[in-house]
Structure 1
C-alpha cells in the first residue's frame, strides 16, 4: 500500500521540477601563432589558421600593425575578420571562450581576447589593454563590446556578462558597446 502512494508522489515531484536555467562557463586556449598554420603571408601582412576550443577554427590576421581575430569555418567572411581596435595593437596570450549549456551541452557562444594597444604608435610601450568580446554566430560573428581592462577593476566580469548575452547582437546595425570607464583611446 505504501508503494502505491510513493510512486504517484514521485511522479508529481518530477513533473513539478522547474526547467534548469542556462548555465555559463569559461574555457581557455592559447594564442600561439607558432602552433598555427600560415594561411597567407606577403609584404602587407599575414594570416593564420589556428585551433581553438575543441577544434573550433580560429582565424588570426595581421595588417598595418593591427591584429584581427575571427572564428568558425567561414571565419574570413565574418565581420570579425575585418574588425580590430583602432590603435596599433597586438594580442594577449589567451582566448577565453564563453560557453552556454542552453542547447543541452556546453557550446561556445562568445570569446574574450585581450588586445594590447598603443595610443599613437610612437614606440613599443603598451599603453592600453582592451578586452574584446566577440559574438559567435555563423553569419553574424563580430565584436560586440570593448572593455577597458586598465580603467575598470571588474573588466573581466563586465566582459563575461556581455558575452553571456551573445546571440542577440545584429552585427550590421548594432553599435559596439564600450565600458563606462574607457580611456584606451578616444571613442
Structure 2
C-alpha cells in the first residue's frame, strides 16, 4: 500500500472546509427579506358596524398569505390586529393595544417577509398632540411607525419609531422587524423604542 504524506492530506481537508463554508453563505441558503404593501383605505376594506361621529366601526382589510388586517375605532382611537379571520384577529393582544391620545393610522400596510412569508407589519400612525394646537385650535398630529409581529404566535406591537425625530424612520422600522419581531415574546418582552425618542413616541407611551 502506498503511504500518503501529511502534506498530501492538507489539500483535501482545506478543500472540504472551503466547500462547507461556501455552502453556508451561498445565495441559495441566504434568507431574503423584502417588503410589499396592501391598502387599508376604507374603500378597499369591508366595514363591520355603522360608523358614527366618534366611532368608525371596524374595517376588515385584505392582507397577505390568507391574513386580514382588522382596524377598529372607538372614541377617535384605533387598534390594529391581524389574523386568519376577523374573529381570530380580535383575540390577539394587538386588538387590545390602545394609545391614550386620539390617533389614526395611514392607509398603507407594509408587510415584511422572509422568503415570501410575512412575519411582521409596519404601519404609520398619527398621534394627536393636544398640547400643541394648530392655528385653528386643533391638535397637531405627530407621526410614528409601529412594528407588529405576526403568526405563528401572538400578534402584538414590537417596536415604535418616532417619524419626526428620525429621518430614517422607515429603515429603522424594517431593521427592527427583521432583527427581533419573530423572537419577540408578547406579554413578556417590552415594546422597544428604536432610534431617537420624539413627541409621538412619548405620547404613545403615556
Which residue among 90, 93, 107 is the counterpart of 2:104? 90
- The runs of 4+ residues in structure 1 deviating greater than 3 Å are 12-16, 41-44, 121-126
Alignment deviations for residues 112-157 of structure 1 (CA, whole Å, 9 cap, x no partner): 0000111228654543000010000244110011100110011111
Contact 1:116–1:126 (Cα < 8 Å) also in 2 = no
Alignment pair present for 1:48 and 2:59: yes
What is the aligned-residue RMSD (CA, Å)?
Answer: 2.3
Q: Which deviates the most, 111-120 or 16-25?
A: 16-25
Provide structure 2 residue ranges, at least 5 long, that are not aligned to the other structure: 1-15
Q: 1:126 to 1:55 in 2, by over 3 A?
A: farther
Give the equivalent residue in structure 2 for 1:109. 119
More off after superposition, 36-45 vs 148-157: 36-45
The structure having more radius of gyration, on CA atoms, is: 2
Alpha-carbon distance between aligned partners in 2 of 1:160 and 1:75, rounded to the nearest angstrom = 23
Find the counterpart in structure 1 of residue 46 from structure 2: 37
1:12-161 matches, cutoff 5 A: 17-18=23-24, 20-41=29-50, 45=55, 46-73=57-84, 74-101=88-115, 106-120=116-130, 124-161=138-175
TM-score by length of 2: 0.74
Question: How many residue pairs end up in the alignment?
Answer: 172
How many Å separate the matches in 2 of 1:28 and 1:110? 12
CA distance in 2, matches of 1:23, 1:181: 28
Q: State how far apart, in whole Å, the 2-side matches of 1:127 and 1:42 are.
A: 22
TM-score (ref. length: structure 1): 0.81
